Amino acid sequence: MNLSLKLPIISSLIILLLALIFPVFAQNGGGGAFPFSQSPYQIGERLTYNVSYSNFPSAAHAEFHIVSRGMHHGRDAIELRAHVETTGVVNVALLAINNDYVAYIDPATGLPFRSEEIARDATRLNDSVQDYNQPAGNEAIPPKQKGFPGTYDLLSAFYRARALPLAQGGTYNFTVRGEAAEYHVELKVTGRDTVNTNVGSFNAIVTKLRISNSPLRNVRVYFSDDERHVPVLMTAEIGDGDLRVEVAASEIVAPVIAAPEVKPPVAVTPGPIPAPTAPASTVPTVNTNWPFTIGEQLNYQIFIGSGATPMGIATFQVKGRSRYFERDGLYLTVNAQTTNELSRVFTARDTIDSYVDPQALFPFRTVMNLLEGRRRLNQTLTINQETGVATSDQGGRIEMPVGTHDYVSFFYALRTLNLAPSRKSVVSMLVENKPKTLFITPLKRETIQLGERAVPAIALSITTDDPEPDKYQLRMWISDDRRRLPLRVSCTTQLGPLRADLAILPAAPQ
């Protein structure tokens, strides 16, 4: 684990997410304004990005949403929102960032006239508002000789860059204000390429960025080669590590029609932004019966015995919903690894991706990358739930009951079960490539202590169909509310009693 990741690095990561791609003004042929494309401003578009850094496969995620067009703060505007959050080891052990951004922009120019930011940490919430005194409509389009289109914040800049023509060989210079600083950027279109991501392959326009006053080096941004110009991949170097920002989800949801504004204007409070996947793919509206939301992230600290020092960390995340491998699906993932003293004697670093049916939550594809001491496992399973057969990328075949879960889908499906007293549920799950029957029995309602918080919970017993059904004494405590959050998991192992506790409870229901 690379613990050299410091605060300036994470700040730069956030800057990369929100300020990598800026509105620019041509320096070619005397510096006239380039056309302003409306295509990237499609109401209802949602984009989600996963950020990896060095050995951290999921250091952060960012979500962008074009919410609505209507009257906001006394004028016609498009409402943009974004959410940026560190994840996994970075969030738990290094730096917890959980920020929301809102921008109200002029539809004709993309210029913001109001920006809002909410920054959260474990103990407090800070918000700030900035109003831009800028002309509206055609008056905001500068004449040729001025060569500067106004002042953009980081969020509006993300979209304004997509509205550029991005012509082959074009070079653009611009300045954007954000994070209490101004950044001078040169963007140059260097060619075209095919980009492969977790959500598909894209024909892309390749650009190179140079950003002043930034530790980022060798910055590349790959825009989809269509009218929407979706940034599908961003790469850079920071210190001794490589930074990669990859599209994880994209969708177009039903637009929100803004209601007539009531005067005096009421400040809009930004909320969490859901997630989504691959440009140009439209998927059905999110199932409101889920106890979780797109983008939800749950971080766990793992303890052994009676020790108070975490020996491991696990992060579960709902990455997005889109078309994955030719079908509608939810993208779920877990990252887990040993930490502190345990990591010195036993290194474990596991990642499991699960692509599941949005209705039943049964997986149709499972990707496992496991590193546990000397053990290595890299395996992809394609699962046919109708025939009860899973095939591996190495040609193996697994017979299983119809409706069998993998490790990750089970974690989320458990939250949808009827947990009424004395009601036992039966679930099939693949364990070490063999189906195993699990019996989930609600035991009682009780209050457990997580840090300084007392949380109402439902205690569950999970047994198997083995000769010793309760050999591992597996217990779970689920929050006694609509979200059904897994608060604690405990079991008995060869190392002794093991406990995983939810590290940071979300501040509000999602």
pLDDT in tens, 97-124: 788 889 999 998 888 888 888 876 544 5
At 452 the pLDDT is: 79
> What is the number of residues in the chain?
510
DSSP state of 17: H
Beta strands 125-131 and 171-178 are unpaired
All residues at 6 or more sequence positions from 368 whose CB lies less than 8 Å from its CB, including other chains: 350, 351, 352, 377, 378, 379, 380, 381
Closest C-alpha to 499, from 509, 489, 484:
489
pTM of the shown model? 0.50
Residue 143: pLDDT above 60?
Answer: no
Per-residue pLDDT of 379-410, as tens digits, reads 999 999 989 999 999 889 999 998 999 999 99
Phi/psi for 89 (5° steps) reads -60, -40
Distance between CA atoms of residues 281 and 126, nearest Å: 36
Q: Which amino acid is at 241?
A: G
Residue 29 pLDDT greater than 60, yes or no = no
Give the residues across from 501 on adjacent strands.
301, 488
Distinct helix (H) and strand (E) counts, the chain: 5, 29
Per-residue model confidence as pLDDT tens digits over 168-199: 888 877 667 765 667 777 878 999 999 987 77
Residue 149 reports pLDDT greater than 90: no
Which residues pair with residue 507 across a beta bridge? none
DSSP states of 455-488: EEEEEEEEEESSSSTTTT-EEEEEESSTT--EEE
CA-closest candidate to residue 63, choices 293, 334, 269: 293
Specify the range with the lowest mean pLDDT, choosing from 42-51, 133-142, 309-318, 434-443: 133-142
